[in-house]
Amino acid sequence: MNQNNKKNRATLQDVADKVGVTKMTVSRYMRNPESVAEKTRVKIAEAIEKTGYIENRAPAMLSKSSSKAIGILLPSLSNQIFASFVQGIETVTKANGYETLLAHFSYDEMEEEHKIASLLSYQVDGLILTESHHTPRTLQMIKNSGVPVVETMELPSNPIDMAVGLDHEDASYHVVKRMLDSGKTTIAYFGARLDTRTKLRMQGYDRAMQEAGLEPKHILTGEHSSFSLADGLLERALEAYPNLDGVFCTNDDIAIGTLLSAQRRQIPVPQQLAVVGYNALDIGQTISPTLTSVDTPRFEIGEKSAQLLLARLKGEVVEETIVDMGYKITQGESV
């Protein structure tokens, strides 16, 4: 936007002049429409629409009063599981008059540090994080800011403030046990990105395999997950383990790609190869055979996180600061 366009932006005074009221009345309306008489309220709303007025919240933010905004850190924009997570958050924030500011950090601690510094500079009232490993500077900035924080998606043993998530190690252990109970013995773990949650799932897989007296088999890549990535992982696994009869995948993208790749190779699923995913995406229930997966409550995690944050902002005592939202294992046909 050039400087001329900025100068032509409608001001609070423009709205007030159009209605024939004071700036103070319009300002009061912006804070609480119910505080203004109904006839005036209607006129102000019409004037705002006609002038295209956008409220300037910078003065309130700079004065360190409430910005009525919550900062959300997302590790990935390509991973659809975070869409339902944000929707869960926004059902709560919207109902309570809060805006959300989203920042993306690509599973990178230094990028997370940079984005948190940026969000705190905008005086956000609280932060919702999706990682539990942070740089020392990130931890110091959060401590200095004094804002409430919820770490989500997993359950760190020593959270910064509050945490809402699930036990990924336990979920993975139990779903791999189900594969073992079905008679599969040569099961590989397909992992990508190698972020915290991928490693926790690998730990659960390892525990189930070792408990059964079997050697864990890891097929890993640092690349981000995709359906197409799975074909290369399956090729590597079949070369290393010709008797491969099961694959546990760190997410559904890889699991669905693995299932389709197996079908292209004319490997019957689940008779010859069992395939299990993680996150229970809707597409897993539309393919054939339907995908067995760990169903993670992303929407509910987002919702609960926002509820805890807003309770803290309202001065309420939050008694349960670490909340395990649990998981389910879907009754798919791929095992």
Name beta bridge partners: 278.
294
Q: What is the architecture, at CATH level 2, of domain 166-293?
A: 3-Layer(aba) Sandwich (3.40)
**Residues in contact with 189: Cβ distance below 8 Å, sequence separation at least 6, in sequence order:** 201, 202, 205, 206, 216, 217, 218, 219, 220, 247, 248, 249, 250
Q: What pLDDT is attached to residue 66? A: 67
**What is the DSSP annotation of 177-190?**
HHHHHTT--SEEEE
Task: For 170-196, write each residue's pLDDT tens digit.
Answer: 999 999 999 999 999 999 999 998 899
Interatomic CA distance for residues 206 and 138, integer angstroms: 32
Q: What is the pTM of this model?
A: 0.82
Q: Would you say the C-alpha torsion 185, 283, 220, 156 has a positive or negative sign?
A: negative
Q: Give the residue ranges of the chain where pLDDT is below 50.
A: 1-5
Whether 329 and 175 have beta carbons less than 8 Å apart is answered as yes
Domain boundaries, the chain: 10-54, 67-165+296-326, 166-293
3-class secondary-structure state, position 335: coil
Q: What pLDDT is attached to residue 85? A: 97
Structural tokens at position 120: 């705190």
Please determine whether the domains at 67-165+296-326 and 166-293 fall in the same fold group of CATH.
yes
* Four-way CATH pick for 10-54: 3.40.50.300, 3.40.50.620, 3.90.230.10, 1.10.260.40: 1.10.260.40
Q: What pLDDT is attached to residue 57? A: 62
Task: For 102-131, write each residue's pLDDT tens digit.
Answer: 999 999 999 999 999 999 988 999 999 999
CATH of domain 67-165+296-326: 3.40.50.2300
Q: What pLDDT is attached to residue 34? A: 87
Q: For residue 163, give the nearest of 3, 37, 324 by alpha carbon.
A: 324
